[in-house]
A and B are shown apart, each in its own frame.
Chain A
Amino acid sequence: MSRIELDRVVVRAATPGGPQPEVTVLRETSLVLTEQRVALVGPNGSGKSTLARLVNGLVEPTGGRVLLDGTDVARHGREVRRRVGFIFTDPTAQVVMPTVAEDVALSLRHHVKGREERRRAAEAVLASYGLSDLADRSVHTLSGGQRQLLAIAGVLATDPDVVVADEPTTLLDLANSRRIADLLLGLDQQLVLATHDLDLALRCDRVLLVDDGAVVADGDPVSVVDHYRATAH
């Protein structure tokens, strides 16, 4: 597994027109993640998405450093993003090409040269996720579950070392939510998962409870989830 390290990381964001010029989204945080499956739980606006986005440089720290196996994410973003895949809550924004096969092929652009080779590689990826029948479908016509599955296939196509998922099941129905959860938890890759689904968090190896921009509990899933349930208001 990779070693994800946050070294005294602080994230502040400007709030133009707000009562204060900026707000602290994440207070000074230091932690090391080496477990295969790490869940981030907490209320809306707590900072768990920010924490997840730090791992592949979508959010850059205002202070401190984020390191992936010793590589500074802010300074080597390109290299890190090739190793860290990111799955968004809403796949509509993540799926950017007009058709299913083309979207997976886009992910493979740096890895497979030649259109025909890329097309074949994309079809192989789609087959492994049971999406072969949809290869030539417009992404616009996919259901929410199919679209999220496609977004995940697009990320996994490049075989990243780490997969970060920001509430990937929030917009899905129960069956699709279970399907995506099973898929993500069955990955060989290291998984960092921001989620409101506490059953999902309980299936991880470590859970961090984030509240008001700080990690307020960190440890084994059962104790952290129990703590969250007891303190949520």
Chain B
Amino acid sequence: MTSSPLGDYQPGSTVLHRLPVGAKLLGLVAVSVVAVAYRGVPSTTGAILLAVLLCGVARVRLAHAVRALRRLLVAMALLAAYQVWQRGAEHAFVVVGALAALVLLATVFTTTTSVERMIDAITRWLQPFRRFGVRPDLVALAFSLMIRGIPLTLQVAAETRDAARARGLERNPRAYLTPLVIRVVAHARATGDALHARGIGDD
């Protein structure tokens, strides 16, 4: 059973689930900065070990972690090949290893943080900007809609591609892109209507 549109969030009660969103994000940023600023075999090895340890603590499913890495497999393979060719195997390990560690740490974050908690955190963080006319609730909602929009857009893209294929037009980009854009815009308008109907944005 998954909870996030990307299938990442796993409900649970581990210490990482209970940590505040801000603390987790700060931790992620800190490790990212260290991995980039102090590039080397020790820092990359440390980042990988930390990522694996936190995956265990957060009880990230192995398949989940593998899927997260697989999304970047081609990019990582190309990057590794280029680095080996240009600067040797050790540098390739440093660069690609750090990238893999950060992907795993980001997976730990999304696995242990529901979108609702992220939205609440964003709402809280934006409170000081109210005086400048920022509406924290609306910004947070926009963030949520963006996340919700990803699988929807992928679904519409798949349907549009199938429709083009069914008409023998799979090689015609217009037959694919035009209905895709139209449907995505129509969905955005319908979502606007639905939010309006629910009274969201009225106040």
Asked whether A139 is an interface residue with its Cβ less than 8 Å from the other chain, the reply is: yes
Mark out the residues of chain B between 1 and 49 whose CB falls within 8 Å of any chain A CB in the assembled complex.
Answer: 1-5, 7, 9, 11
**CB contact between A78 and one of B148, B190, B193, B203 (< 8 Å): that residue:** B203
Q: How far is the CB of B83 from chain A (nearest CB, A)?
A: 36
Q: How far is the CB of B64 from chain A (nearest CB, A)?
A: 14
Assess the A58–B115 pair: CB atoms within 8 A. Answer: no
Q: How far is the CB of A6 from chain B (nearest CB, A)?
A: 18
Assess the B114–A99 pair: CB atoms within 8 A. Answer: yes
Q: B57: which A residues are within 8 A, CB to CB? A: none
Assess the B197–A96 pair: CB atoms within 8 A. Answer: no
Bound CA–CA A81/B175 (angstroms): 40
Assess the A58–B5 pair: CB atoms within 8 A. Answer: no
Asked whether B77 is an interface residue with its Cβ less than 8 Å from the other chain, the reply is: no
Taking chain A's interface residues, is the majority helix, strand, or loop, or is none over half, making it mixed?
helix
Question: B126-152: contact bitstring with A at CB < 8 Å (1 yes, 0 no)?
Answer: 000000000001000100110110011
Q: How far is the CB of A54 from chain B (nearest CB, A)?
A: 12
Q: B144: which A residues are within 8 A, CB to CB? A: 96-98, 102
**CB contact between A140 and one of B5, B11, B117, B137 (< 8 Å): that residue:** B5
Assess the B199–A96 pair: CB atoms within 8 A. Answer: no
Bound CA–CA A99/B190 (angstroms): 19
Assess the A96–B145 pair: CB atoms within 8 A. Answer: yes
Bound CA–CA A107/B197 (angstroms): 11
Question: A59-88: contact bitstring with B at CB < 8 Å (1 yes, 0 no)?
Answer: 000000000000000000110011001101
Asked whether A36 is an interface residue with its Cβ less than 8 Å from the other chain, the reply is: no
- How many residues belonging to A are interface residues under a CB distance threshold of 8 Å? 35
Question: A106-134: contact bitstring with B at CB < 8 Å (1 yes, 0 no)?
Answer: 11011000010001000000000000000
Q: A102: which B residues are within 8 A, CB to CB? A: 114-116, 144
Assess the B202–A94 pair: CB atoms within 8 A. Answer: no
Asked whether B196 is an interface residue with its Cβ less than 8 Å from the other chain, the reply is: yes
Q: A136: which B residues are within 8 A, CB to CB? A: 1, 3, 9, 11
Q: A92: which B residues are within 8 A, CB to CB? A: 152, 187, 190
Bound CA–CA A109/B5 (angstroms): 21
| Nearest B residue to A82, CB-CB | B199
Asked whether B200 is an interface residue with its Cβ less than 8 Å from the other chain, the reply is: yes
Q: How far is the CB of A40 from chain B (nearest CB, A)?
A: 17
Given known A102-B115, A106-B200, A109-B137, contact A96–B2 (CB-CB < 8 A): no
Bound CA–CA A90/B152 (angstroms): 13
Assess the B120–A115 pair: CB atoms within 8 A. Answer: yes
Question: B146-175: contact bitstring with A at CB < 8 Å (1 yes, 0 no)?
Answer: 011001100100000000000000000000
Bound CA–CA A105/B144 (angstroms): 13
Asked whether A8 is an interface residue with its Cβ less than 8 Å from the other chain, the reply is: no
Q: How far is the CB of B61 from chain A (nearest CB, A)?
A: 15
Assess the B4–A138 pair: CB atoms within 8 A. Answer: yes
Bound CA–CA A136/B1 (angstroms): 8
Assess the B190–A88 pair: CB atoms within 8 A. Answer: yes
Asked whether A93 is an interface residue with its Cβ less than 8 Å from the other chain, the reply is: yes
Q: A47: which B residues are within 8 A, CB to CB? A: none
Asked whether A213 is an interface residue with its Cβ less than 8 Å from the other chain, the reply is: no
14 contacts between A and B (CB under 8 A): A85-B197, A86-B197, A92-B190, A94-B194, A96-B191, A97-B148, A98-B5, A98-B144, A99-B3, A99-B4, A136-B1, A136-B11, A138-B7, A140-B148
List 15 extra interface pairs beyond A81-B197, A93-B187, A136-B11, CB under 8 A: A58-B196, A81-B199, A88-B194, A92-B187, A93-B190, A97-B116, A98-B144, A98-B148, A102-B116, A105-B116, A115-B116, A137-B3, A138-B151, A139-B148, A155-B198
A residues sitting closer than 8 Å to B (CB atoms) are 56-58, 77-78, 81-82, 85-86, 88, 90, 92-94, 96-99, 101-102, 105-107, 109-110, 115, 119, 136-141, 154-155
Closest 5 CB pairs of A and B: A93-B190, A86-B197, A78-B202, A81-B199, A94-B194
B residues sitting closer than 8 Å to A (CB atoms) are 1-5, 7, 9, 11, 114-117, 120, 137, 141, 144-145, 147-148, 151-152, 155, 187, 190-191, 193-200, 202-203
